[in-house]
Amino acid sequence: MSIDEFDVAVIGGSYAGISAATQLARARRRVLVIDAGQRRNRYALHSHGFLGQDGREAAAIAADGKAQLMKYPTVQWLEGAATQAAAADDGFDVATADGASFRARRLVLATGMVDELPAVPGLAERWGSSVFHCPYCHGYELEQGRIGVLATSALSMHHALMLPDWGTVTLFLNGAFEPDEEQLGKLAQRGVTVERTPLRAISGVATVELQDGRALEQAGLFVLSRLHSASPLAEQLGCDMEQGPMGSYVRTDMTKASSIAGVYVCGDAARMAGSVALAVADGAMAGVGAHHSLIFGAAAA
């Protein structure tokens, strides 16, 4: 093996990638982690709902994982973005934006997703501090106050019907859809106020400024983002995708194997809706799956 050859290259070194690499390191395999340092939750200071780490700084959870991983001598960490991945003899060639290239017998993609928010002035600036997508992650801290759901499509019914468990909810339709009689009935049953006046901007902590001049103060806002793959690698490799309501993600089997033999995909990149706990679990599975495949052979999902 030359210096640049690895058993497994893990692309993406956040929760899912670190978890995958840890399993492989513990099997004494040569692992390269390439990470561009853009965790999806970097806009939120604290992370909630992950066993033993509830309410801790999101960055600290990842930093601890990385520090523990780097104690294993067979792991190398490279800061940067992988821009190319292609099948090669007995493995895969990976190239980075800096012009470095590596060969690995297996790939684990843990590259995550990017959120695209509706273009309401003031919304993006508050993403992760008072504008959220996940009630389980950030609903509790709103202390049962006023919660605005900003509709992007009829899918926002889901948010509107869930969030009354966390506060007093107004559904701002903003022209995104018009609930039918049955939906209006369900919203009324859950005590949700429906507001049809379009939004002008978000100001203050989470004040919704309407086009008729009213300003409705909220403790927080929830909005569904469109999700896009954070990297083109799965598509480059030809991995089958799954179409979800918020965007497409890589199809995997229970071992996190993709449709391309030898390529494992884990975390947000390979599920409809993710969390730190699920990324860590998927990563552990992908690490074990990739390791098994080195011994028993790789199968495609």
Positions touching Mg ion (CB under 5 A) are 12, 14, 16-17, 110, 267
Question: Is 254 in a helix, a strand, or coil?
Answer: coil
Min dist. Cβ of residue 110 to Mg ion (A): 3
Among 37, 175, 185, 244, indicate the residue that binds ligand FAD (CB under 6 A): 37
Q: Which is nearer to ligand FAD, 135 or 179 (CB)?
A: 135
Residue 149 phi/psi, 5° resolution?
A: -105, 120
Q: Which is nearer to ligand FAD, 39 or 106 (CB)?
A: 39
How many chain residues touch ligand FAD (CB under 6 A)?
A: 42
Token pair of 233, please? Answer: 């690698």
Q: Which is nearer to ligand FAD, 34 or 163 (CB)?
A: 34
Out of Mg ion, ligand FAD, none, what residue 219 binds, judged by CB under 5 to 8 A for its kind, is: none
Token pair of 281, please? Answer: 């679990």
Burial of 191 (0-12, 13-18, 19+ CB in 10 A): exposed
Q: If you search the block for the tokens 């992650």, which residue do you land on?
A: 137
Each residue of 51-89: b (16+ CB within 10 Å) or e?
eebeeeebeebbeebbeebeebebbbbbeebbeebeeee
Q: Which of residues 89-118 bind ligand FAD (CB under 6 A)?
A: 110-112, 115
Min dist. Cβ of residue 196 to ligand FAD (A): 28
Among 29, 30, 48, 126, indicate the residue that binds ligand FAD (CB under 6 A): 48
Question: What residues contact 140, with CB distance under 8 A and at least 6 apart?
Answer: 48, 166
Q: Does 14 bind ligand FAD (CB under 6 A)?
A: yes
Q: Does 49 bind ligand FAD (CB under 6 A)?
A: yes
Residue 201, CA atoms < 13 Å, CB-side half-sphere:
7
DSSP label at residue 38: -
Rounded Cα–Cα distance for residues 200 and 192 (Å) = 21
User: Interface with ligand FAD by CB under 6 A: which range of 151-159, 201-209, 228-236, 247-255?
Assistant: 228-236
Min dist. Cβ of residue 17 to ligand FAD (A): 6
- Say if CB 21 and CB 30 are below 8 A apart: no
Nearest-CB residue to ligand FAD?
267
Q: Which is nearer to ligand FAD, 81 or 150 (CB)?
A: 81
Min dist. Cβ of residue 115 to ligand FAD (A): 5
Min dist. Cβ of residue 146 to ligand FAD (A): 20
Token pair of 13, please? Answer: 């070194």
Rounded Cα–Cα distance for residues 167 and 245 (Å) = 25
Site residues, ligand FAD (CB under 6 A): 11-17, 34-41, 43-44, 47-50, 81-82, 110-112, 115, 127-128, 134, 137, 230-231, 233, 267-269, 274-277, 279
